[in-house]
Chains A and B, each alone.
Chain A
Amino acid sequence: MTDAQPGIEAGGATPRLALTGITKAYPSVVANEDVDLTVMPGEIHAVLGENGAGKSTLMKMIYGVVHPDRGEMRWEGNIVAVASPAYARELGIGMVFQHFMLFETLSVVENVALALPGKPDLSELAERIRKVSDKYGLPVDPRRNVHSLSVGERQRVEIIRCLLQSPKLLIMDEPTSVLTPQAVRTLFETLRKLAAEGCSILYISHKLDEIQELCHTATVLRAGKVTGHCVPSRETPKSMARMMIGKDLPVCEHGAAKAGGDVRLELAGLSHAADDPFGTDLKDLRLEVRSGEIVGIAGVSGNGQQELLYALSGEAPLAEKFPVRICGFDSGRMPPGRRRRLGLCFVPEERLGRGAVPSMSLAENAILTAARTQGFLRRSLLDFRAARVFAAQCIERYGVKCGGPQAQARSLSGGNLQKYIVGREIMQDPKVLIVAQPTWGVDVGAAAFIRQAIIDLRNKGCAVLVISEELDELFEICDRIAVIAKGRLSPAKPAAQTSVEEIGVWMSGMWPGAPGMEEASHVEA
């Protein structure tokens, strides 16, 4: 860690973007305090930080979504006040959000046209899209409807939409969280090409190895303040993590799985037509999860994970009983409450609005799933005191940063709420735990903690199923890994006997014996 920002700045040219003393306070929290940030033309600059460190707020201020309370922003040497995203785009700032903002029922070219000023000619625009996509290696057909695109392709649409306005600064918020390893390679090629042409890139990610590979410089934020600058290529992921969380990264301890546990969760030929016309039909899924093991399901999002999770949790009960067996009971038709009584706990992908009610306190959110298992019920009345005690224990044990059991769920950062929800489910001592995206958007410190908690639970004999898009995570915690692609499930392979590359290929639907093997379509380029 050095004080002066190293790297390209040595050239003495005018910075593309220079922030000094940027401060933004919300009534409950100071999101950014006195932040300085300098980005040179052609520089790929990483912004690193834990969840709630203030990365997103900072980016939103640059893009004009939020306005700073204090501080100065210089754009190519001139002081500017970015009043709106439209003005930011006029300056030449483009942003690709973590959650895409596309209309599913419109075509690619129509979606792009919506973001442009005026009323562009669609066929001419389609031609421009084709040119840009050729130039930067972002293949996408402008006439296709967005709902038929894979997540990787959708991200390309978002990037193309920015590139059409020839940005001088591109902000990418967690861009690789939805991509296969192969698609990440392609994205990096594109970004390098852009940087070589002089476009500056602000790259927000928590994946330290990616930052190390891609970024020229990095600014580290902790609790809203800049805590350091570094050149990622001279650091290790470990040293960057230390800068980010202020201490050494905890390492997951992962012993061998106990062999021969009883089957706790079984899929016996689960087929289910999706309710949503743009959903994925599940076709003949078979899987066993035994007591004392963690089985992971990898896959690019949108390949049937949602539908599978709904079928497993009971949020969308099946027409038949046999395809889902929980602890030996045919439970395909059971609603969620009955499955919980068999010993199933479930951490959904969306924390706010599904895993927790935003406007309710953490104590009230404990009642959501733990009312019966933890005895919050006195006949049909609720024991709120017991719920508060439970919430306080969960907050303490899982290190949830919040204002206590009475804090509203929506006042927590994503990572802290995730810790709370994971804690709430694990503290109920489940026989089967299903976790979707356990650490999505969660900082490294919290992620390691959550993974360790899942491993500890498995060591106590719980059967755990993890569905994640992050391969590194699955390899870190799983005993066996299967892949879901186009609504089909591959056989589960012991994690020690496979590799990221092999699973990456399987994620395109090409595993030995896969029915669609000959067609081999839909390969993530």
Chain B
Amino acid sequence: MWKLEPRPEASTTMRYASPAIAVALTLVGGMFVFAALGKNPVEGFRIFFLNPVRDLNAITELLLKATPLMLIAVGLAVGFRANVWNIGAEGQYLMGAVASTGVALGFQSTGSVLVLPAMVVAGAIGGALWAAIPALLKTKFNANEILTSLMLVYIAQLAVSWLVFGPWRDPAGFNFPQTETFTDTALLPILIEGTRLNFAFVIALVVLAAGYVFMQRSYAGYKMRVAGESAAAARYAGFSAVGMIWIGMLVGGAAAGIAGMAEVAGPVGQLTDKISSGYGFAAIIVAFVGRLNPVGIFFASLLMALLYIGGEQAQQYMSLPSSISKVFQGMLLFFLLGSDVFIQYRLRRATAAK
């Protein structure tokens, strides 16, 4: 009989090593998955993990993919640290996309340089407003924010569908459910000529830096950490629990909203009913793989982007099903949680009680 017993002291080194171990285990597990699907594991590894970083162009695609993930994840981390469980970043991402699309459709004809900044602000506000609903329900009626924020995702998806099938449908778009394509006025500038990597990556890095300062250096970030670690201590110190919920939800919503803006004003260039991509959910994994730390989140979002792109490549070159990315994401989260168990616990052979 084996049993888990708590370690007397959790190792800090292992806390940070655990994501690396989880990645290694995911790679090994992935080899088995390829073998089980009748593919050459080495070939699978090459296509899945090396193809996405083979040249500059591939790397910019990776960074492009990672941009919304790091934006959303760093916003979520602020709330997660205070035990504010915003699971509905996907919905806030959509509402950010909707709000900034509204600005683009209304003002891009002016050609003003202010359109893009206004779209960023609108995206943040759209996401924050959508996140304000669960915050209000939580603080007024103590409704569980996990449920309410998640349910609002589906409402947001339907709202987007209604817009692109209805009032915002491009009259010249052959009845496809999408808006007009944005003009250059409403599109984020490209960073490296000949690639799709755009200015949103810079915004994401700035948000990461701001997130770092907020979480590690600011009084408000400190209060949120206290609230997350011990509710009674936060109450004793006089930190308002209601304030924590609002900050946690609004910051997460705003960051997700900016990610939504970056998508419509970036690679997609319009609002479509396919804009919902699962970034809002994948970012939850990114936040935890990154240990709710902005530096960790940067690397975790690159890893998650790699899984996304690797999955697409495996689909293309190895004719594997598209759900292969989901399998890898699931494996990564599973191995991470599994490794985390051993930070706090160790496996001991139970001595038979006499």
Residues in A lying within 8 Å of B, measured CB to CB: 26-28, 80-81, 83-84, 86-87, 313-315, 335-340, 346, 348, 350, 353-360, 364, 367-369, 371, 377, 380-382, 384
Contact = CB atoms under 8 A, between A and B. Distances in A.
Contacts of A83: 351-354
B2 interface: no
Nearest to A29: B8
30 contacts: A27-B9, A80-B354, A81-B351, A83-B352, A83-B353, A86-B353, A87-B353, A87-B354, A313-B236, A315-B235, A336-B235, A337-B237, A337-B238, A338-B238, A350-B232, A353-B233, A354-B230, A354-B235, A354-B236, A355-B236, A357-B226, A359-B229, A360-B226, A369-B236, A371-B219, A377-B219, A381-B218, A382-B217, A382-B218, A382-B222
Contacts of A84: 353
A26 B9 contact: yes
The list of the 9 closest CB pairs from A to B, nearest first, reads A336-B238, A337-B238, A354-B232, A83-B353, A368-B237, A357-B233, A357-B229, A26-B8, A354-B236
Interface string B319-354: 000000000000000000000000000000001111
B318 to A, nearest CB: 45
A358 B230 contact: yes
B219 A27 contact: no
Given A315-B235, A381-B217, 12 more contacts: A83-B351, A335-B238, A336-B237, A337-B237, A354-B230, A354-B232, A359-B229, A368-B226, A368-B233, A369-B237, A382-B219, A382-B222
A374 to B, nearest CB: 13
Interface string B205-243: 000000001000111101001100110110111111000
A9 to B, nearest CB: 28
Contacts of B352: 83
Contacts of A354: 230, 232-233, 235-236
Contacts of A338: 238
Contacts of B354: 80-81, 83, 87
A467 to B, nearest CB: 15
Most buried by B among A83, A87, A346, A357: A357
A403 to B, nearest CB: 12
A87 B8 CA distance: 23
Contacts of A359: 229
Contacts of B351: 81, 83
A357 B8 CA distance: 18
Contacts of A81: 351, 354
B170 to A, nearest CB: 45
Contacts of B218: 380-382
Nearest to A314: B238
A364 B222 contact: yes
Given A335-B238, A336-B237, A380-B218, A357 B230 contact: yes
Contacts of A364: 222
Interface of B: 8-9, 213, 217-220, 222, 225-226, 229-230, 232-233, 235-240, 351-354
Nearest to A339: B238
B78 to A, nearest CB: 15
B229 A27 contact: no
Contacts of A337: 237-239
A84 B9 CA distance: 21
A384 B353 CA distance: 50
A476 B220 CA distance: 42
Contacts of B217: 381-382, 384
Nearest to B231: A353
A353 B238 contact: no
Contacts of A27: 8-9
Contact of A353 (B220, B225, B232, B353): B232
A356 B233 contact: yes
B232 A358 contact: no
Contact of A381 (B213, B233, B238, B353): B213
A326 to B, nearest CB: 14
Contacts of A355: 233, 236
Contacts of A367: 219, 222
Contacts of A348: 236
Nearest to B233: A357
Contacts of B9: 26-28
A340 B237 CA distance: 9
Nearest to A335: B238
A27 B239 CA distance: 34
A317 to B, nearest CB: 10
Contacts of B213: 381
Nearest to A387: B222
Contacts of A382: 217-219, 222
Contacts of B235: 315, 336, 354
Contacts of B8: 26-27
A26 B6 CA distance: 13
A359 B213 CA distance: 20
A285 B237 CA distance: 25
A102 B254 CA distance: 46
Given A26-B8, A368-B226, A315 B236 contact: yes
Contacts of A353: 230, 232-233
A52 to B, nearest CB: 15
Contacts of B237: 336-337, 368-369
Contacts of B239: 337
A313 B237 CA distance: 10
Nearest to A368: B237
B15 to A, nearest CB: 11
A26 B9 CA distance: 9
Nearest to A337: B238
A315 to B, nearest CB: 5
A393 B217 CA distance: 22
A456 to B, nearest CB: 24
A380 B219 contact: yes
Contacts of B225: 360
Given A84-B353, A357-B226, A357-B229, A336 B236 contact: yes
Contacts of B219: 367, 371, 377, 380-382
Contacts of A314: 238
A477 B230 CA distance: 32
